[in-house]
Structure 1
Amino acid sequence: MTRSVPSYPLRRLLPGALLVLAACTSGDPSVTSRATALNADPVAADALAAVDTATLMQHIRVLAHDSLLGRQPGAAGEEKTAHYLEQQFRAIGLAPGNTDGTYTQRVPLVGITVTNAPMLTFAKGGTTQQLRWRDDYVAWTKHVEPTAKLAQSELVFVGYGTEAPEFGWDDFKGMDVAGKTLVMLVNDPPLADTSRFGGPRMTYYGRWTYKYEQAIKHKAAGVLLIHEAGPAGYPFSVVQGKTAEQFDLVAPDRNMSRAAVEGWITLDKAKALFALSGHNLDSLKASAVTPEFTPVPLGVTATVTLENALREVASRNMIAKIDGSDPALRNEYVVYTAHWDHFGVGVPVKGDSIYNGAADNATGTAGLLTLAKAFMAMPVKPKRTILFLAVTAEEQGLLGAAYYAAVPVYPLAQTVANINMDMLSLWGPTSDLVVIGLGNSELDDYAQAIATAQQRTLTPDAEPEKGFYYRSDHFHFAKQGVPAFYAEPGVDVIGKGAGYGRRKRDEYTANDYHAPQDEIKPDWDLSGAVQDLHLLLTMGYRVGNANKGPEWRVGNEFRAVREAMLKRSKQ
């Protein structure tokens, strides 16, 4: 999991639930057909019974065991994890998911480690500023080369680095910035006009990944993001973690189309940089929150040389399937995803150096295997094919999911939905379910109908401004246009009193998240995970049988991508 876990306040039932209930009682034939899909016959009892705490815990114990060495891609832990997943796929009776007759999709990765601790030098005239590695800035390269550098590269402030024609927004205004280094703010422009950039909800334009993609588009030599804890959603210490080995996919050009240097600088050093340039950062930030903003050449150059250790790795996504029962729909797909990887063996914390990732994400991978067992227990399989995809390198930037989305085994135009699992419920059944990106697609209608039957409510992400929808594997399906659903455990734990669930999540975040202490705990109660998996099982079953696939909501940023994809597939 690539996000921190916030605390969630209690919420009332969402208005969307009332829309679903109204649809179920309408006399309109099209609405009645839709309601039938949402409230289809229940999943067979044998399938529901196959989802149990014993099965989940058995898989978690294996996946989180020290012998798997933290499930790091490209290491011995990957070999053991992949062997276990294939063994379980076969035992369950799943067909190989790859079209070559195997359970493996090879994913080419490169591990890049900056081996020096270089100073980053800003210069104007005879005046220089030197930024210390890790303390003042963090930088890396995705070039598969032993060195990467900026040599007196001109700095240009491009505001938020955003080009959003649908909002009448262009931070570049046609300026040629090829060969220059871009300085950018993080997140979306904070506008009072909520019709632009989703109001308080971060759009993809606000993600740091988008900003590095902008550097590629404009052929920039480098890009430096100004770190601010609030807009970024995490402290600079999280950025400092990127000084260790980083993985990336290996493009045919060995990633040479990317900027040579990508990185972050602290807010204090950014203010000093702008002062050196003769500008005030706060004043330029204010101008950047207007569509009239134009890029500002800073009259300052940047120089740095990164020395890199390279390690090319053939990692793997593991994939299995259950063929659809209807020949007319068998070539359409519902994809369940969970990432199998974690951080391997690393810096010891309290005497432990194995990052077991029991919650994150042995639980989700165990859920994937358990759902597969449940689908196999169905006397009649869904009409559409069900795929079970355990992806690699999520913790390195959603790389396994990104690779599948770029090189899909099955056409994405025929992929009707993705349902993602990243850390299951650990502390018992809840009266709520937190849906990240609630309201994005009609998949939420399926979830609402099932949750209502479970006497539960759906609640939205408490911090939409931090863009958590873009931080787990489902995002790369969504980015390509596939309707994608991602829910996190609820926090209103039944019978435990107000605040219990939030307190347990806060404890996990403080003590275990991305640490060797993420191990199986004596107080885990996986009955909540079973409750959530029943919902996800029923959702996939009903989507797999529906007359038509779910769609993005009108106005959603991914709807146009989906429509264009479907149009191309019919040509």
Structure 2
Amino acid sequence: MLRSLLLLSLTVLAPLAHAQQLPPEQAALKAHVAFLASDALRGREAGTRDYDIAAEYVAAQMLAAGLKPGAGGSWLQPVGLATYRPAAKAKWTLTRGSAAIPLQFGIDFLNQGVPATPDFAVEGQVVFAGYGLVYPEARRDDYRGLDVRGKIVALYAGTPPGLPDDVSAHLGDDDQKARFAEARGAKAVIIVESIERRAEFPVEAMAPYYDYERTTWIAPDGKAHMIAPGAPVVGTIGQAGAEKLFAGSRIRWRDVLAAERRGTRMPTGPLTGTLKLATATSIRATRSSNVVGLIEGSDPALRDEYLVLSAHLDHVGIGEPEKGDRIYNGAMDNAIGIATMLDIAHRFAESGKRPRRSILFVALTAEEKGLVGSSYFAAHPGLPGKGRLVADLNLDMPILTYAMQDLVVLGGERSSLGATYAAAAAAEGLAVVPDPAPEEMFFVRSDHYSFVQAGIPAVSIDSGPGGPGEAAQMEFLASHYHKPSDDIALPIDWTAAAKFARVNYAAARAVADGDARPSWVRGDFFGVAFGGHGAR
């Protein structure tokens, strides 16, 4: 493998020898991106040999940087991937009195896969819990006064107006809603189609694609991971099906719709009748791996605290051709993030000074399939003895085609990490600015979010919108994001890339050497929700 990897590297990097000479720190960054985003790696899709070659390359570079294997004596942490989908169109029946009311697939409902229980079936009373939110900061608990133990919970899709963008993105996720239902004893969840969701993608239009594949990780016990396996989301009830479901109940369907239009609280309570649900799930298992390198901390009092530097290694692989090109190379997304992480590892080695805390450098798999590798690692970091994760600094798709003036630190305002990054950026003449597009909900779309859900202070670092930044970012997202043209031919500003690396090294050094453990801002929603250090 090592000989073939060397030959592949020479083949890929040979054209760079004739390129314009760059300073060594910039040349090293470009070399990593050129290899990882080359056609030879065919887009690095998780679960493929192409990804495995990329993983071996990163492991070799970690070795060269002086890191130690960080996955129980190995560079590679195995991650089982379960790709699943509904195996067939289900049959759901509503019984009211002696009358059986069949629900029609594709109009009244759509079933979805339940990978933790491939042959899932349940029957029981339905309780409507509105949006199903529990948000103490706004004194909101949609389950107040409801008994959902042993029942099927129907939850309205989305969130009401007025929530902070990050909170709305989190609470609006169907599986996060199921987490609340499971904690209150429910045995299944169905999502009720809202006016807003219907306007975006109605049930009838979704029906031909109901069996699209999703991916999760496989736990050590062999079961597919779900956020709420005890009360899984079984499917969606369309508005036509909701008319049938609510008929004869104290809660009128038209009042639910009216509450959404007005933005007011919805009526909640038990619905009349019994609902019989079932869904069969087809699962295909593959394997992948996170790549984990370690610098052991030097301070006996702090070395059991582990800082994580993360970046996802995978991209989307081979896709629909554009201008004859089917390879989605993923240079900016996220070869540049991996290159930055490797640069930081070299900087620690070259400093000659070990950090006080231990540092894990983690190249994550299957981000593009739903933050799968980071979710697995956050749940199973494999730390020895009393080791614990204390922070995550995530590097994901910084758009570096221009001279940066500022940075965006997603989640920085939620923990002490924000101030650390502000100081590191200022030393390089950069400002830290708020997320310019909170409506895009990037906070829940990158790997740091997996660490957030484990209660660990975490941020994801992006280039900012200042100066030419906004136009450059819009151009990349419109023309190159998840397209074959995201490759080494992009006009990457390697001076900006080196500056980005220096800022992240400075922040990592400050976190690793600081006297105080990174902490959540007291009362922060995510810190409180997931029991994070310092939140209460």
Equivalent position of 2:171 in the other structure: 205
Aligned residue for 1:428? 402
1:82 aligns with 2:55: yes
Structure 1: any 5+ residue segments left out of the alignment?
Answer: 1-48, 192-196
Specify the alignment match of 1:361 in structure 2.
Answer: 334
Q: CA deviation at 1:72?
A: 2.1
Check the 8 A contact 2:456/2:533 in 1, yes or no: no
Where in structure 2 are the equivalents of 1:55-454 lying within 5 Å? Answer: 55-98=28-71, 100-116=72-88, 130-132=104-106, 139-143=112-116, 145=118, 147-148=119-120, 155-165=126-136, 167-172=138-143, 173-176=145-148, 178-180=150-152, 182-187=154-159, 189-191=160-162, 198=164, 202=168, 204-217=170-183, 218-224=185-191, 226=193, 243-251=211-219, 252=221, 254-255=223-224, 257-259=229-231, 261-264=233-236, 278-280=252-254, 281-285=256-260, 289-290=264-265, 293-297=267-271, 301=275, 305-306=279-280, 308=282, 310-349=283-322, 351-410=324-383, 414-454=388-428
Report the CA distance between 1:337 and its aligned residue: 0.5
User: Which amino acid in structure 1 is aligned with residue 398 of structure 2?
Assistant: L
Report the counterpart of residue 522 of structure 1 in structure 2: 490
What's the CA shift for 1:553? 1.1
**In the alignment, residue 174 of structure 1 is paired with which amino acid?**
L
1:343–1:395 CA contact under 8 A, matched in 2: yes
Gap change, CA 1:238 and 1:279, over 3 Å in 2: closer
Q: Residue 219 of structure 1: CA displacement?
A: 3.7
Provide the identity percentage. 30
Shift of 1:362: 1.7
Query: How far does residue 53 in structure 1 lie from its aligned partner after superposition?
Result: 2.7
Task: Measure, in 2, the Cα distance between the counterparts of 1:418 and 1:531.
Answer: 20
Q: For residue 12 of structure 1, what is the aligned residue in structure 2?
A: none
1:165 is displaced (CA, Å) by: 4.8
Query: 1:71 aligns to what SS in structure 2?
Result: coil
Query: Does residue 504 in structure 1 map to residue 472 in structure 2?
Result: yes
Distance 1:79 1:355 in 2: 16
**Paired residues for 1:487-566 under 5 Å:** 487-493=461-467, 496=468, 501-560=469-528
Give the corresponding residue for 2:442: 468
- Quick one: distance in 1 between partners of 2:62 and 2:365? 17
Query: Which range moves more in the overlay, 279-288 or 469-478?
Result: 279-288
For 1:72, the aligned partner's letter is E
Contact 1:88–1:369 (Cα < 8 Å) also in 2: yes
* SS, match of residue 140 in structure 1: coil
User: CA separation in 2, counterparts of 1:66 and 1:136?
Assistant: 42
Q: CA deviation at 1:85?
A: 1.4
- Tell me, yes or no, if the aligned pair for 2:84 and 2:115 is still in contact at 8 Å: yes
CA drift of 1:549 comes to: 2.0
Aligned-partner Cα distance in 2 for 1:180–1:201? 25
State the shift of 1:299 in Å: 5.0
Q: CA deviation at 1:180?
A: 1.9
Task: State the one-letter code of the partner of 2:498.
Answer: V
Gaps in structure 2 of 5+ consecutive residues: 1-21
Query: How does the TM-score come out when normalised to structure 2?
Result: 0.80
Return the offset for 1:275: 7.8
Question: Following the alignment from structure 1 to structure 2, what is the Cα–Cα distance between the partners of residues 86 and 242?
Answer: 39
Q: Residue deviations 1:139-168, cap 9 Å, x none?
A: 3322363x5456x76554321212345654
Please state how far the C-alpha of 1:224 moved relative to its aligned partner. Answer: 2.0
Q: CA deviation at 1:563?
A: 6.7
Return the alpha-carbon distance in structure 1 between the equivalents of residues 296 and 412 of structure 2. Answer: 30
**What RMSD over aligned residues (CA atoms) do the two structures have, in Å?**
3.9
Alignment partner, residue 6 of structure 1: none
Instruction: Spell out, residue by residue over 1:448-489, the C-alpha distance to the aligned partner (whole angstroms, 9 max, x if none).
Output: 122223332211123445543222211222222222122221
Contact 1:338–1:361 (CA under 8 A) maintained in structure 2? yes
User: What SS does the aligned partner of 2:168 have?
Assistant: coil
Which structure has more relative contact order (CA 8 Å, sep 6+)? It is 1
Superimposed CA distance per residue, residues 261-303 of structure 1 (whole angstroms, 9 cap, x where no aligned partner): 544567x66776678675114224379844x853352658475
Q: Relative to structure 1, is the Cα distance of residues 298 and 471 closer, same or farther in structure 2, using a 3 angstrom cutoff? A: farther
Scaled by the length of structure 1, what TM-score is found?
0.75
- Give the CA deviation at 1:419: 0.5
The count of aligned residue pairs is 500
In structure 2, the CA distance between the partners of 1:71 and 1:177, relative to structure 1 (3 Å rule), is: farther
Deviation at 1:181, TM superposition (A): 5.0
Moved more, 158-167 or 86-95: 158-167
Distance in 2 (CA, whole Å) between partners of 1:351 and 1:115 is 34
